[in-house]
Structure 1
Amino acid sequence: MYEPYENPIPNEWLTIDAPATVDANSTATVNVTVDVPTDVKGEYGGCIKLNIDDSATERWGMDYEVDIRLEVWKQPKTAYQQNFTVKQGQNFSVVISASQWGYDKYATGAEETEEPSFKVSLALADLEGEDMTPELSKTVKTVGVSLGSDYLPLEDVTSEETYHVSHIEYSETYKVTNATGGVWTLKILPKNTQSFEYTIEIGG
């Protein structure tokens, strides 16, 4: 592994299965396996030099290499929390959304990606007992469709398909009517997404 990345991929994570030499005008398969420890997270990167004997590499200052970038993250076990204040008798709603992008499928190699979901609860400081689970009043799925070839691998770019899904946004809306006044705590535990947005609308 070569490349002065801020967080380089350690050599001990990699197993490379490749022939010692490859003749000119021939092909070969190189298998690279990355074994990531369970106690790490963050972004890692590096390059694998192919060691191709080509005079152009010296003449033009270029080299043949394969770039590898990893983003390691874990499903959270504790919920995100946010406090907000509601007056007695007011209605309020919470809208939570997350997006998936077409290039994620090609980056992970997965044919299908599980849809994002959220475990949502609300708590009022002056009320005793467990958190309440608000009623899910609406779900929305918004799909972006492209006629271009952005972020598509070669086999899809050259296919006869006209339309490609570029991104999908999922949203869930929760409503509480005639709420008890006070400071409420919103708790969101996301699943199958690395980011999300939410909106708290009070009144109306």
Structure 2
Amino acid sequence: MMESKGIQTRGLIVAMVLVSMAFMPAVSAMEVEMYATSEQDMIMVDDVAMLDPYMDFAKLKINPRHSSTQLKPGSSDKITVTVTNKDNKTITVEPRVVASPYEENIFEESWITVTPASKNIEPDAKQEFTIKMNIPQDADIGNYGTEIAFTDDVMPTPYATLYPKYINTMHLYVDVWTPPKIQIQTPYLGDRVEAGDEYDYEIKLKNVADKDIAIDPKISDNNRWNHYGPYGMIGPAFEDDAITITAPSTVKAGETAVVKLHLEVPDDAKGGYNGAINLNINDPSIREWDGQVEMNFEVWTQPSEPYTKMFTTRTDDPITIEVSSNDHNYGRWMGAGSQNEKSEASFDLALEGESGKVELNQVKTTYSGTVSLGASDFPPWEMDGAGIYHDAIEVYVETYEAPGDIGEWTLGILPTNTERFDYSITIGTVE
């Protein structure tokens, strides 16, 4: 039954590909495989023949179809690819490198050696090929991709194409990298700010190299976007000129430098600001997007009217009210918030029954929280001093008691310096 289900699934997938071919000029073998990812039921090469019954091509099974690795300039690596002849005739296989035009960087053909260079494979026989990659010492940092074509068979197209779509291929990805010489210990700035206030932030850069490295931090022009609200696009809460950057021109060998940001939030600011600081680090091992520090600021306003909650008591037992702030500082958890001293959360409570206002007696105050050791993408053991700690969650609790009575009640809560709060109302003695 399971085999029958697999055949039906493959038949349905191939039928879907046939229909889509009516609207597509060309489909590669790799793209055909992508239709069959469910149930891990990969379409075999002989299924491709169903796309064109008059098409003659070598029917090979190639394993793996894709391979990815990470290499440093000047290093090498090799992988083994097994090719199985699923045809009824002997096939001559001559692997060669073909261009993959949609990659960030394209492999040079001289970087890859495939052995054996040629092999005749009989029906149902297997042959292993070794693909050796040699990355030159002067290779640029980045992602590279190419295809290894084991035969010259290509998908037919109704028009001439610069890059043929080979059928019997495997795709090769290589991430060429070197360890960065500067560690960005503050990868993200996030904060909740108020209109008319000023804030200070720090980005720490540690130079682990044996020579000085130049930097030139500036607001990035290529990393700005607007908010989308319920009524369309919303512009930023403030412009780039609200941020002032102060930084040294170099980070000395073995030392840590501090890039300082000063934010002056305009009095009429509303909404949010998203952007980035391009550190412009003169280190080829740091890619352009890795040398940026993302910024996300939310402008908010303290509420002026209290939140009200109606409740009913059926006894004259004492009333206990607990109110707690519960701020999840995700921005400061992942990176860093303002260096300024943060104002503590607090609450202004008012309780009124059918006979009028009732005096509330605060009997307990509790502080608690969750502390993150370092940013999510930076090892905490690389951090220096107190900068390793970030308040991820901060909880402040106030507990009040009041004499009870039977009837209707109204509780008013006016929060300050918190973006969310919880409350509980208990009728009766609290143990």
| TMscore range, shorter length | 0.5 to 0.7
What is the aligned-residue identity percentage?
30
Instruction: Kindly indicate whether the alpha-carbon contact (under 8 Å) linking 1:80 and 1:188 is maintained by their aligned counterparts in 2.
Output: yes
Letter of the 1:119 counterpart: D
Asked if residue 81 in structure 1 is aligned to residue 301 in structure 2, the reply is no
- Identify which of 320, 338, 361 aligns with 1:93: 320
CA positional deviation for 1:63:
5.6
Instruction: Kindly indicate whether the alpha-carbon contact (under 8 Å) linking 2:251 and 2:257 is maintained by their aligned counterparts in 1.
Output: no
Letter of the 2:339 counterpart: G
In structure 2, the residue matched to 1:14 is 243
- What secondary structure does 2:308 align onto? strand
Deviations 1:39-58 (A, max 9, x none): 3344321012344566667x
Instruction: Kindly indicate whether the alpha-carbon contact (under 8 Å) linking 2:224 and 2:276 is maintained by their aligned counterparts in 1.
Output: no
Instruction: Kindly indicate whether the alpha-carbon contact (under 8 Å) linking 2:366 and 2:398 is maintained by their aligned counterparts in 1.
Output: no
CA shift in 2, pair 1:51/1:201, >3 Å: same
Q: Matches of 1:70 and 1:171 in 2, distance apart?
A: 26
Which stretch has the larger CA shift, 61-70 or 90-99? 61-70
Q: Matches of 2:267 and 2:259 in 1, distance apart?
A: 25
Asked if residue 43 in structure 1 is aligned to residue 272 in structure 2, the reply is yes
Asked if residue 149 in structure 1 is aligned to residue 373 in structure 2, the reply is yes
Instruction: Kindly indicate whether the alpha-carbon contact (under 8 Å) linking 2:374 and 2:383 is maintained by their aligned counterparts in 1.
Output: no
CA shift in 2, pair 1:50/1:134, >3 Å: same
Letter of the 2:263 counterpart: V
CA shift in 2, pair 1:61/1:74, >3 Å: closer
Q: Matches of 2:396 and 2:350 in 1, distance apart?
A: 18
1:106-125 matched pairs, under 5 angstroms: 106-110=336-340, 112-124=341-353
RCO (CA 8 Å, sep 6+): is it higher in 1 or 2?
Answer: 1
- What secondary structure does 1:107 align onto? coil
CA shift in 2, pair 1:55/1:201, >3 Å: same
Deviations 1:30-86 (A, max 9, x none): 5433221123344321012344566667xx674632222212223322211111122
Instruction: Kindly indicate whether the alpha-carbon contact (under 8 Å) linking 1:139 and 1:170 is maintained by their aligned counterparts in 2.
Output: no
RMSD of equivalent CA atoms: 4.1
In structure 2, the residue matched to 1:134 is 360
Q: Matches of 1:145 and 1:48 in 2, distance apart?
A: 28
CA positional deviation for 1:4:
3.6
CA shift in 2, pair 1:73/1:133, >3 Å: farther
Deviations 1:147-176 (A, max 9, x none): x724579223698xxx99875533222223
Letter of the 1:71 counterpart: E
- What secondary structure does 2:337 align onto? helix
Q: Matches of 1:17 and 1:114 in 2, distance apart?
A: 25
Instruction: Kindly indicate whether the alpha-carbon contact (under 8 Å) linking 1:149 and 1:157 is maintained by their aligned counterparts in 2.
Output: no
Which stretch has the larger CA shift, 81-90 or 185-194? 81-90
TM-score, length-scaled by structure 1: 0.67
More helix by share: 2
TM-score, length-scaled by structure 2: 0.36
Q: Matches of 2:269 and 2:224 in 1, distance apart?
A: 19
- Identify which of 34, 46, 49 aligns with 2:263: 34
Deviations 1:128-187 (A, max 9, x none): 5xx444122x214244576x724579223698xxx99875533222223331412x1111
CA shift in 2, pair 1:135/1:40, >3 Å: same
- What secondary structure does 2:411 align onto? strand
Instruction: Kindly indicate whether the alpha-carbon contact (under 8 Å) linking 1:141 and 1:168 is maintained by their aligned counterparts in 2.
Output: no
Q: Matches of 2:250 and 2:338 in 1, distance apart?
A: 31
Asked if residue 178 in structure 1 is aligned to residue 408 in structure 2, the reply is no
Q: Which runs of 5+ in 2 are unaligned?
A: 1-218, 228-235
Aligned length: 190
- Identify which of 194, 201, 204 aligns with 2:426: 201
Rg larger in structure: 2
Letter of the 2:278 counterpart: K
